[in-house]
Amino acid sequence: MRSLFKLLAFNLLAISAFAQAPKQAIITADIDNFWLAFDKVNNVTDSLKQLEILQAEYVDKGTPGLKAFMEAKSYTTAAWLDCIRKYPKYWASIRAKTYQVKSLTTQFNPYLKKFKQLYPELKSASIYFCIGAMRSGGTTQGDKVLIGAELATGDSEVDISELPQNTKKWLATYFGSNPFKDIVLLNMHEYVHTQEKSNGNTLLAQCIFEGTADFVAELITGKVPAMPYMTYGKANHEVLKAKFKEEMFLSEFSGWLYNGTSNRYGVGDLGYYIGYSICKDYYEKAKDKKAAIKELIELDYGNDVAVERFLRNTNYFIEGFNKEEIVKAFEQNKPIVTQIGPFRNGDINVESNITELTIFFSKPMDKNRMSISFGAGGEKTFPLKKPLGFADGNKSLKFLIELKPNQNYEMLITGRGFKSIDGYPLVEYPVNFKTK
């Protein structure tokens, strides 16, 4: 009987340990360090001295989370100082809100316990609240969840009047959703990422990578992000699904992920919704729910074959799909440069007094996107001075150029930098010519 009691006691302890949340820490020291540095920076006017203060008082004293955030988002001390100097109204209106994160230190444990129940293999991670340079509300690196409190704690009261128009438009939408009320959801999304193996190589893989985090976070918290991509996605599911299928094997994400509203739908990050939809559909069909969660989290998103096999198993595209045919059809829809003018590409007798160059396209192009890079000769052989604008129904683009006699010129009209108005990237087009 004594042995039986011991066995029962052991089992109860094992069950208790199994249900416990993994060990984790919530670190907010970077919030205090930033504002102390901020006040000192604003007590001096010399920019070099300000940079030294910010480096010594914030960056050098930073937690491992801040160091990881800097690496993940390419933050520099100069980037922080630039934001501080340009947007004083923003910082004044967000300051008190960033301190709210200190109240969260005990709120995550019940959700992490729930996560552990759903996914017993859950590994520990630390949650760091930092002040970023306004580029990310949250990301991860290894076993670290990294939250940018200057964004994640915002709401409609934050003064964004000093910010550039594109940033202002994005933040108005983001802050309008009152992200702090869903701060637990954001953290659970990022916590899921700390359990995943890798990012994806293709649009398909990366969307499922992000969708897994959104879907598992929903299972943990009972919430989905209060963002336009969710509401728009659900309302336009079939249209988005069909368009996504045309592009899912590309390595180009900008039309679906980590973008703003300047795309064909006027809603950013719709790839999150597509990935979420795939994961939710698969989970709901699965007989073994816990096994489905494990498969989603442990899928090797960097393995294209594994991701494609998973998609077939989901039966999300019930009609099936042929990768080769999808890729071929997409390539055939890409716009091309039909010619340049007033001279031909490759011409070796170009007049050096020509001051304008026009690029002609096979399709109407998105006038908000353009990117032309240096050729092998670098800036020295780059002829363009500034764009003069699209014309001919957005099928031509004119530039001001500056030429010298007897010189080679070259540039690359990039594929990812241009898109047709129906959303297809340009076929890359190198340009070279020589003046008389």
Angle subtended at Cα 76 by Cα 70 and Cα 81, rounded to the nearest 5 degrees: 125
- Residue 23 per-residue DSSP state: P
Q: Could you tell me the two tokens for 71?
A: 């690496």
pLDDT at position 415: 87
Q: Could you tell me the two tokens for 190?
A: 């990022």
- The Cα 185–Cα 221 span in angstroms is 6
Q: Which residues pair with 71 in a beta bridge?
A: none
Q: Where are the domains of the chain?
A: 20-182, 196-333, 337-434
337-434: which CATH architecture?
A: Sandwich (2.60)
Contact 216, 293 (CB under 8 A): yes
Q: Could you tell me the two tokens for 308?
A: 């494609």
Model pTM?
0.79
- The Cα 396–Cα 427 span in angstroms is 15
- Residue 353 per-residue DSSP state: T
pLDDT (tens, 9 = 90+) of the chain, 436 residues, equals 334 333 333 343 333 334 455 555 889 999 999 999 999 999 999 999 999 999 999 999 999 999 999 999 999 999 999 999 999 999 999 999 999 988 887 788 899 999 999 999 999 999 999 999 998 888 999 999 999 999 999 999 999 999 988 888 888 888 988 888 888 999 999 999 999 988 999 999 999 999 999 999 999 999 999 899 999 999 999 999 999 999 999 888 888 998 877 778 889 899 999 999 999 999 999 999 999 999 999 999 999 999 999 999 999 999 999 999 999 999 999 999 999 999 999 999 999 999 999 999 999 999 888 899 999 999 999 999 999 999 999 999 999 999 999 999 999 999 888 989 888 899 999 999 999 9
Q: From the CB of residue 173, how many other CB atoms can be counted at a distance below 10 Å?
A: 15
